[in-house]
Structure 1
Amino acid sequence: MIRHIIFDFDGTIVNSRPLISKIYNRAAKKHGYRPIRDDDKGPFAGRSISQRRKALGIPLYRMPALGLNILWGYHRGLEELEVKPGIGDLIEQLHAQGYPLSIISSNLERNIRAFLQHQGIDQFEQIRSSRSLFGKHRAINTFLKRNDLKPEEVLYIGDELRDIKAGHRTGVNMVSAAWGYDSLESMRRMSPDFMASRPGEVLTAIQGFNAGVL
């Protein structure tokens, strides 16, 4: 039975790509990286973080500084961000059904809390920042231990290939959100436990996990 639900943040709860692209493009212009257009999915769809970095021409040693630059710029642009369609209703329904809700994200906790407060979404009990872009499975495992949860008691909702990998490595029930960064086709190839094309389908997934048919 599902006892706790964890959400990813960027791409799953919030439509942050336009803001992140704008912040990145300022750095790209300064350092000579490939810029990203608003409709440009090439560097993102179906690619790992390492593949995206190479496609954009970013040296590996520049990644930590670029990441910090994006996170700090993110905080200054919070008012530009919007909740993904249908996510607010999903969060309200899950909260009404008594599910504890948390967030694990590579974004900063202060960014996440500021956004949730601005949007009036205050149903989350815990918000954890995973400092590594490549190690979200470690954050999930730590979360399980601290909350005395078994993997099969947790549902994790994420929108990227690395979220599926984290689900596989930790054993938690994984729902891939097709409304986020990575395409439905690329995520399907990695065999998540459930593919949701819209937020309301997460409720169907929970029923399936609780009934033992997923």
Structure 2
Amino acid sequence: MSHSILQMKMVPGIHNAFKEIHNLGFRLGVLTSNSRDNVKTFLESNDLTDVFDFIYSEKNIFGKKTALKRLLMHEKISKQNVIYVGDETRDVEASKKAGIPVIAVTWGLNNKQILTSAQPNHIIDAPEELLACIKNM
């Protein structure tokens, strides 16, 4: 996987969206079941290491909700100060169970129709919409 991580392409517009959000003072982090090294390599190869404050990697047999709660405890973050951005229905479900607002993005694993059925707080179709959505939450 580490070799293929370098072949992965970013969604057009997401790099600028991350930079803008970071420059406004928001903390950005990654919650993943992928290895920390893979994520770090991807961020380095896309000039984003200075944008993300943390990478939390956990292969959790208890599910994403538990991983999300552990991340909040580990990083000492109140759920009132978090907005989760995800591309799968399980992201939406975990966030809702944890009491965290969630923005679903349609450029990832699940399509808009499937994501809509999970009832996220917001759903966006392009990275350029992310900052405005965060500001309005």
- TM-score (normalised: structure 2): 0.92
The alpha carbon displacement at 1:142 in A equals 1.1
Are residues 188 and 101 of structure 1, via their aligned partners in 2, closer, same or farther at CA, if it must alter by over 3 Å?
same
Contact 1:134–1:162 (CA<8 Å) still a contact in 2? no
Task: Confirm whether residue 207 of structure 1 aligns to residue 135 of structure 2.
Answer: yes
- Matched with 1:159 is 87
Contact 1:130–1:136 (CA<8 Å) still a contact in 2? no
- Matched with 2:13 is 86
The alpha carbon displacement at 1:147 in A equals 2.9
- Matched with 2:97 is 169
The alpha carbon displacement at 1:127 in A equals 0.2
1:117-150 deviation per Cα after TM superposition (whole angstroms, max 9, x unaligned): 1111111111011203761111110122233322
How much is the aligned-residue C-alpha RMSD, in angstroms? 1.4
- Matched with 1:118 is 45
The gaps in structure 1 that reach 5 residues or longer are 1-73, 210-214
The alpha carbon displacement at 1:207 in A equals 1.9
- 3-state SS, counterpart of residue 41 of structure 2: helix
- Matched with 1:76 is 3
- Equivalent AA in structure 1 for residue 120 of structure 2: P
Residues 19-168 of structure 1 mapped to structure 2, 5 A cutoff: 74-122=1-49, 123-132=51-60, 135-168=63-96
Are residues 134 and 189 of structure 1, via their aligned partners in 2, closer, same or farther at CA, if it must alter by over 3 Å?
farther
The alpha carbon displacement at 1:77 in A equals 1.7
Tell me, in whole angstroms, the C-alpha distance in 2 between the residues paired with 1:139 and 1:121: 23
- Matched with 1:58 is none
1:152-175 deviation per Cα after TM superposition (whole angstroms, max 9, x unaligned): 210111100110111111111100
* Identity of matched residues, %: 26
Are residues 147 and 78 of structure 1, via their aligned partners in 2, closer, same or farther at CA, if it must alter by over 3 Å?
closer
Of structures 1 and 2, the one scoring higher in RCO (CA 8 A, sep 6+) is 1
Aligned length: 136
Task: Confirm whether residue 195 of structure 1 aligns to residue 123 of structure 2.
Answer: yes
Tell me, in whole angstroms, the C-alpha distance in 2 between the residues paired with 1:121 and 1:167: 25
